[in-house]
Amino acid sequence: MTLNIQLNGTVVELTSPSEYRLSTVLKDQCRGIHLGCGQGKCGSCLILVDGLPRYSCQMPFFSAKNKKITTIEGILNSQEFQDILKGFKRANLDICDFCAPSRVLSIYYLLSKSYTPDQGEVEDVLSAVNCSCSSYDSLQRGIFFSIEEKNRRLHG
């Protein structure tokens, strides 16, 4: 099966068996996707599909048809990525290399919203990636600092 997918802003043609996991297909294109549990539990294959976070290991390849897919590689030049970078640095947050791309992508999703997210939404985002490399408190601090950086950039 061949599909045209809008991957990180560029239309690419991907060929794979239709039932194949999207995570495995995208892995060849985007090295930031890590293959973990394959059961939608660990969150290391998290991507944004039409702007919403999804576990790509739980999506068959055919379901990517006509979708706009964003991976960590697609947000590296965004302002929000810089906000997260600064926020994590301020929080002295040292998450592991394995979950980092998915964690950043999930926080990017939060930051790309037009309003300031509340505590519940922050906790939702934290739960999207099931890695225990850092404590919840330190992660939360990193997120709130990232939000502050974004607000400072937008509103001075």
The residue ranges that bind another protein (CB under 8 A) are 16-17, 20, 24, 27, 31-39, 41-42, 44, 57, 72-73, 76, 81, 84-85, 88-89, 92, 94-101, 104, 123-124, 127, 130-138
- Nearest residue (CB) to another protein, 1 versus 12: 1
Neighbour tally for 128: CB within 10 Å = 18
- Nearest residue (CB) to another protein, 10 versus 155: 10
CB of 151 vs another protein, minimal distance in Å: 20
- Nearest residue (CB) to another protein, 81 versus 145: 81
CB of 9 vs another protein, minimal distance in Å: 16
Tokens (6 digits) for 128 = 């999207």
Q: Which residues of 53-67 are buried (b: 16+ CB within 10 A; e: fewer)?
A: bbbbbebebeebeeb
The single-letter code of the amino acid at 72 is I
* Strand-pair partners of 48: 53, 70
Return the residue matching tokens 């999506």. 59
**Cβ pair 147, 87 in contact under 8 A:** yes
- Nearest residue (CB) to another protein, 49 versus 95: 95
- Nearest residue (CB) to another protein, 15 versus 114: 15
DSSP letters, 107-154, are HHHHHTSSS---HHHHHHHHHHS---SS-HHHHHHHHHHHHHHHHHHH
